[in-house]
Structure 1
């Protein structure tokens, strides 16, 4: 049994009702009587129920009889109560008071008056845990009996281990088995310094903030009991919200949230040109169904434009004036040169397209405006013009993004990297090894490559100590190598667990059963992530289906996101490149975190890390 100070902080505001004093204590404890609610007690004290709840963030509105709570001292100078019966059950010695002052000035709380941060007190509740390290042959039942707790209590203390519900343990797993609570008072100013914070901007919502920082609404509510309206999805511009404690700060917390601001003159219009290879001339005498049957390009281009159309509708609805011109660039964008020679793009403020990478430099050279390359190409690393904006991250960015996440998450895992002898795989292996070893605690990394065409399972398990948790990072896109690595993780020695990561989820993973991917906690770096429950996503899906009688593909969403993001940034009245310095935007399922360099094209570093859950749903890890 190990006793460790694993601290979990919950906060609530305590407003100073009066600051005149002798030696009386401002706050005392009170024992709740049978049938009393927090409202009943607040009414007798002549204070607001929500202030009483803020003093007692771990107590609900209907506490059990004999629960000890903190209340304002009815005897304290300046405090008012309408009934002295509450004094019968109070004990002054049991509570730490707010620091007293000798000032005789009385400051009465006023909801319409903002108080200085150093006069507002915060109750900090610290939990000190007793922990237990799981030994061989131990069971959930045995542990609960040993510490005289119920299984439900064990689950509540250890939400990070949901498999406890199924009585599953891992040797070496550290479980919290008992919690001791301590309450202290600190100033709001000090409290905010101990947190990553976010100041609410115009148009921001609870959903957009939780999505940006990848936290749940419940997390936001728990950390901000002084903002109870979060529960109703209401926040005010200028409010300072806690996101997470400084100890848990992530590298991405330094990013700014791009704010959509429309600042155009009434007569101003944005001219946008789309260069898309519809190849309409080739399909003049072809049935529409035959055009799209097994024609990947035709589906990609058409879906992209259908998504862009909805983005144009949304932009128009916000009062933004634009002219959109759509050009069919023909087979392999063969008509691009003709468009440039005829000055067809001369009036454009921005160009989305062309689709083919070998035509992008030609457009950038012939046009005087930003050129948006709308999807990924393995050749995009060769782009040199500063006018070119790449909307999808390259493989090196994927690899570095995974390194950053793993370094933040590392907790003693045993690390394997699986690759092959291709140049791309070897480059990724080198980046992963050098990046991960910058972490002070990562000393050894096992690199496995095929021998005689495959990788034996024993090459993994022989290096997996009993009770270890292992990370398997795959850089290869070879079908056999990927299958060997995944299949080896399905059944492991008793007490050994593993999580598999991929730098990219390529075609090799589409050949694997999704249930198998879920079983091994498969996680990967992704260009996009969809929250199907988001109102914005539901609205887009409905609108797309009503207009096109089908559900949107990834390319349709990409068409919407890219078009909407570019036009909203231009509607700010600033140069497009200048808006890239003002923050990261997340649209329906794509993130735009543009990185400007002194020379060369602009890159998008907006990525996610996504994990398969047991129910086959996808969870965003980063």
Structure 2
């Protein structure tokens, strides 16, 4: 990961600034009859700057009250030269840029650039600076140049009750036409709570969210179904099926199955025609519908979201052996943190574009597996006023945060831990547990009326135990005396006119080859598909023919998906434009977790209510939360992926 991100981390965490940082302020005592516009002009700031530091004054000024005024000394007109070029354009300094490169890009000399930006002589070039780029042969006075610089800064306004387009445009000295041009969504109305862009332009990188979240017509949240209607169909009993296996397959108790089919009281017979739920509709009654959360901002106060990320800056600064660059090369945990952070910044930037009323604070959790500084951070920074907290990374530290914030039921989102841990009602596990992942695979196979069998190496004790405990009706393919797979046993379990799913769990090359060979040779008379429950490195070796895996449409459950959609391509492109690299899995997860949390915070209901009502799908991750019996929430958002015959990886329907 680049030094650029690390320098940002140090700046943000040591100063404990919010992402929407405020400038150093001075004070002003309000005189009788004064207006916000008059005060803003007096200090060379905008009314929005004053509202940012003094949100209460949006309801009116009170004589003798004291306002905080942001210091704008660095942007005063007097700091600019007497004359600069007309129609000056601006340039935002990004990582790795140099004066020479910028000057070459715009075809200007070093002297011309420094005359337009005198602070460069003393401060030098810094990331995030806005430079005035002169256009040759035309000049204008400094006031025009100052306006050109000011217009680059984005100024927002949150619509309050009883406000109108006229009152807002008058407040900021613009026309209604200008207001509507910057905010085309308000042409037909002015929703309370909507964040308007008053001045400035939105960063292109952040616009990716307009593509990623939902299409324009889906911006309003779709109503969820109260209950899935159960549709019934008929099913013919196959050899070796029992009342127990049938009830498991269709998600019914044996009593419910007999109630639907009274003839089963006398036993199950091959060829019987039974009434069953169509496509497992009964099983999926409680499953949440995946939907786009509304972009319409809810009424009420601004929300506060906190990120606790393990930068461990004190440890890095105290490392006298390794330089920062060497540390970045060696420390995988730090790189993972910085990647996650880079993705989170993309989400925060995107939230600004959508006008989400959220303030963000980021702290160094200073954590290891055995401890953290979480308790002190929460206590010293009054984080009990937050609306949601993302992090820490380690399960035990996330539990500490959840416990400290449980009294106010503040959601603590655990972003990376796979551990089940102790239950806290306000703890949300974003990584599905191993059993949840496996269950999702079996649920999928049963939902498609599959005939399931298992080829499991005896060394895979955990898988054997799991199937015997949770998938009791799934038979195991027999082994020969020499320990090899019995192809006769496997083929005897195959059933006509149904998909036969062979769950294979082994790292033994010969066992894999034997299983695949038996399945391929059966394809002429049966529908067969190969399934694995866990990552299997042996399948990636040259000894296993990839073509056979695609023939059998190798299928597996996954927490993430390889998203090749146009929207995902936009995300990758914009991330690379900002960071000079493509996003890692941790970077994409940082984006997905952060953006999903922010969108849930601004809905017209509590965070917990959105979790209970809707499941979401972001760039690479799903968020389908369910309340655990012992407390807290677990994510059951799992993708079912398979290799298609065209050699591509796809998501199964």
Q: TM-score, normalised by structure 1?
A: 0.53
Which residue in the other structure is 1:460 paired with? 490
Counterparts of 1:462-611 in structure 2, within 5 Å, are: 470-474=500-504, 476=505, 478=507, 483=512, 487-488=516-517, 491-492=520-521, 495=524, 498-507=528-537, 509-511=539-541, 514-535=546-567, 537-597=568-628, 599-611=630-642
Of residues 407, 411, 434, the one that matches 1:370 is 411
The CA deviation at 1:256 is 2.9
Alpha-carbon distance between aligned partners in 2 of 1:513 and 1:373, rounded to the nearest angstrom: 39
Confirm or deny that 1:391 pairs with 2:425. no
Structure 2 vs 1, CA of residues 611 and 327 (structure 1 numbering), >3 Å: closer, same or farther? same
Of residues 289, 298, 310, the one that matches 1:256 is 289
SS of 2:439's partner is: helix
Alpha-carbon distance between aligned partners in 1 of 2:413 and 2:623, rounded to the nearest angstrom: 12
Q: Is contact 2:641-2:650 (8 Å) kept? A: yes
The CA deviation at 1:300 is 2.1
Alpha-carbon distance between aligned partners in 2 of 1:372 and 1:532, rounded to the nearest angstrom: 27
CA RMSD of aligned residues (A): 4.2
Q: Is contact 2:224-2:614 (8 Å) kept? A: no
Q: Is contact 1:276-1:333 (8 Å) kept? A: no
SS of 2:420's partner is: helix
Which residue in the other structure is 1:282 paired with? 316
How many correspondences in the alignment? Answer: 384
Q: Is contact 2:484-2:511 (8 Å) kept? A: no
Alpha-carbon distance between aligned partners in 2 of 1:360 and 1:236, rounded to the nearest angstrom: 33
Alpha-carbon distance between aligned partners in 1 of 2:478 and 2:421, rounded to the nearest angstrom: 31
Structure 2 vs 1, CA of residues 568 and 499 (structure 1 numbering), >3 Å: closer, same or farther? same
Q: Is contact 2:220-2:295 (8 Å) kept? A: no
Structure 2 vs 1, CA of residues 384 and 452 (structure 1 numbering), >3 Å: closer, same or farther? farther
Confirm or deny that 1:268 pairs with 2:305. no
Alpha-carbon distance between aligned partners in 1 of 2:488 and 2:511, rounded to the nearest angstrom: 16
The CA deviation at 1:334 is 3.4
Structure 2 vs 1, CA of residues 408 and 472 (structure 1 numbering), >3 Å: closer, same or farther? same
Structure 2 vs 1, CA of residues 241 and 479 (structure 1 numbering), >3 Å: closer, same or farther? same
Which residue in the other structure is 2:340 paired with? 304
Write the deviation string for residues 308-344 of structure 1: whole angstroms up to 9, x where unpaired: 1101111111112312213142443733355357434
Structure 2 vs 1, CA of residues 463 and 335 (structure 1 numbering), >3 Å: closer, same or farther? closer
The CA deviation at 1:452 is 6.0
Alpha-carbon distance between aligned partners in 1 of 2:484 and 2:572, rounded to the nearest angstrom: 43
Which residue in the other structure is 1:163 paired with? none
SS of 1:372's partner is: strand
Q: Is contact 1:275-1:326 (8 Å) kept? A: yes
Confirm or deny that 1:348 pairs with 2:391. no
Q: Is contact 1:482-1:508 (8 Å) kept? A: no
Which residue in the other structure is 2:90 paired with? none
What residue ranges of structure 1 are gaps of 5+ in the alignment? 1-207, 213-231, 438-443
Write the deviation string for residues 34-81 of structure 1: whole angstroms up to 9, x where unpaired: xxxxxxxxxxxxxxxxxxxxxxxxxxxxxxxxxxxxxxxxxxxxxxxx
Q: Is contact 1:262-1:568 (8 Å) kept? A: no
Of residues 401, 408, 420, the one that matches 2:440 is 401
Q: Is contact 1:312-1:564 (8 Å) kept? A: yes
Which residue in the other structure is 1:327 paired with? 364
Write the deviation string for residues 388-428 of structure 1: whole angstroms up to 9, x where unpaired: 111121122223222222122126x4734435355521232
Write the deviation string for residues 443-484 of structure 1: whole angstroms up to 9, x where unpaired: x8344579766546565356558999632113x465669745
Q: TM-score, normalised by structure 2?
A: 0.51
SS of 1:425's partner is: helix
The CA deviation at 1:432 is 5.7
